[in-house]
Structure 1
């Protein structure tokens, strides 16, 4: 069984090879990501690499492991021997799953590989926003000593005793909730697709109305696009905080800036944006009381290692004739004949 590891400078080929069996027949292909940004390639999104180069590398390959390589309809049509693609991401957005299914190619993902990292980054952003750390850090470096920030109307807020609303309760949202409870925060949750439990509400508007902090952990769907708009921000207690480490499309960012300027929002923290990177004219870049990071919530050494290990486990399962974890097109799995 020939295996292609199409890696990059995050989930490197070496990480995957070390996680695979020693006797695997492995060839490698290297993408320039993240030193060069990903983007659309033909009909797939968030991809990195060249279709022709990938087609050449897939000659005679039965199994491919990748994070960003563009598995387009054209690539899949040319890969006659291919039977399994393992994408080391939560979802295979760089794989044309419909085209893979039509050709009997099983597609797997590695959900949860960045749950720890994304949850911890969420808490870091939240605390930084509540205490306005990014605003004061450069002042100390510049030789200033802002003791005036002890003034009551300038002081930050504590997480303990706050009510934090989580929109989405997958692996990341559930982990964030556990961390928040350790800070003695009250946690509310809105997720109609999760098993309901203590703190869950059935109306997202109720969550916004009761939460001084809202953190987003939902998938981007037609139903959730611009879920956070001017009307929902207006429902929050004045001076609230919004955090988004999920998907930029969940938020109307112009409405966020308006709410920051009016004082309806006291602070906001974002790792994801409507357009990535934001345009130089994006109002967020000059807004006050905003913490911004460049889609790095999942960027830890442990995330990369975990992704490689999960991918290797899927390859080993396939080689044994077992069903791999996280198959996204089960109908193709049946076609393969396992």
Structure 2
């Protein structure tokens, strides 16, 4: 019988150690692993840079201590830095349970022969649902009327034509980006009766619901009563939607962003809300996070804001744990890794 493999489970208060251990045992059986645990403080303590990596939780010192003799690490936020790699020669696989392994120095890991994997698409369903929730909340101004009722008011004046909300059915909704999230949003919107346009140079029309049209961005902007962003943030897409693009939308449009803050000019967005070019906006991501006290959005009307929570569901945590546990079991059996992010030993 083979000796169990020493594995460090370095979860946090979202992707729990319990979920990672249960997923490991389901994938390879409890006899395959000798588990050591380290609990990281995120999200109760914000992530940040550690060494040369970003968006990490915990310290190099505690990770080095926990990795002594460990061959496999399953984590979401632990910092894999050059210092950690030099101090942990037994490590062979570092499996990151998030959509991008930004807490791992990929080049250094490759130099040390450590394979890094991640969990792409783990939050696609959750983000698509959050997008729809924000879209509906903004179009019907639900947060504002909720606050009104809590304040003791019962405003029948909300039935005045000028005060009423908008419907998705019959509206033209433009999606900038049609990857895992955008395609799900397109499917849901089509079911709700919207006319859906997509601007995405990489979109496969055959993978989209019947009736969805792929168009160039200028046509999408000119036609969209609702604009929802789902593109990756790249040098080509940074600042993609600015003052000119917002002005190109039909007056009274709604803008939704659950993708990346860098896609959108938030100062221009605030101005478009103030002057009535936009009916409302709904946002989960921002150009600066957390949102500063003097940010122009704070004084803008008709906003629905959430603090980068589109991927925060129990299903995401459970799915992420299963994805990295499956990678660990592939590695144990000598099979190719599905979501490898770097070079290094197989």
TM-score band by shorter chain is: over 0.9
Alignment of 1:291-302 (within 5 A): 291-302=304-315
Number of the residue aligned with 1:263? 276
Aligned residues: 333
Number of the residue aligned with 1:75? 84
Superposition TM-score, scaled by structure 2 size: 0.93
Distance in 2, Cα, partners of 1:130 & 1:240: 9
**What secondary structure is seen at the aligned counterpart in 2 of 1:207?**
helix
Superposition TM-score, scaled by structure 1 size: 0.96
* Equivalent pair of 1:63/1:315 in contact (CA under 8 Å): yes
Distance in 2, Cα, partners of 1:263 & 1:319: 58
Number of the residue aligned with 2:320? 307
14, 17, 31: which one aligns with 1:13: 17
Q: Does 1:129 align with 2:129?
A: no
Alignment of 1:194-233 (within 5 A): 194-197=203-206, 199-233=212-246
* Equivalent pair of 2:197/2:215 in contact (CA under 8 Å): no
Alignment of 1:1-150 (within 5 A): 1-21=5-25, 22-23=30-31, 24-150=33-159
**What secondary structure is seen at the aligned counterpart in 2 of 1:145?**
coil
Distance in 2, Cα, partners of 1:127 & 1:253: 21
169, 178, 181: which one aligns with 2:187: 178
Q: Does 1:323 align with 2:332?
A: no
**What secondary structure is seen at the aligned counterpart in 2 of 1:169?**
coil
Superposition deviation, residue 193 in structure 1: 2.1
Distance in 2, Cα, partners of 1:201 & 1:280: 39
Moved more, 4-13 or 19-28: 19-28
Superposition deviation, residue 199 in structure 1: 3.2
**What secondary structure is seen at the aligned counterpart in 2 of 1:56?**
helix
Superposition deviation, residue 200 in structure 1: 4.2
* Equivalent pair of 2:140/2:166 in contact (CA under 8 Å): yes
Distance in 2, Cα, partners of 1:51 & 1:118: 31
Number of the residue aligned with 2:288? 275
**What secondary structure is seen at the aligned counterpart in 1 of 2:307?**
coil
Let me know the Cα RMSD of the aligned residues: 1.2
Distance in 2, Cα, partners of 1:214 & 1:147: 29
Distance in 1, Cα, partners of 2:124 & 2:175: 15
Superposition deviation, residue 324 in structure 1: 2.1
Superposition deviation, residue 194 in structure 1: 2.9
Superposition deviation, residue 154 in structure 1: 0.9
Distance in 2, Cα, partners of 1:59 & 1:205: 56
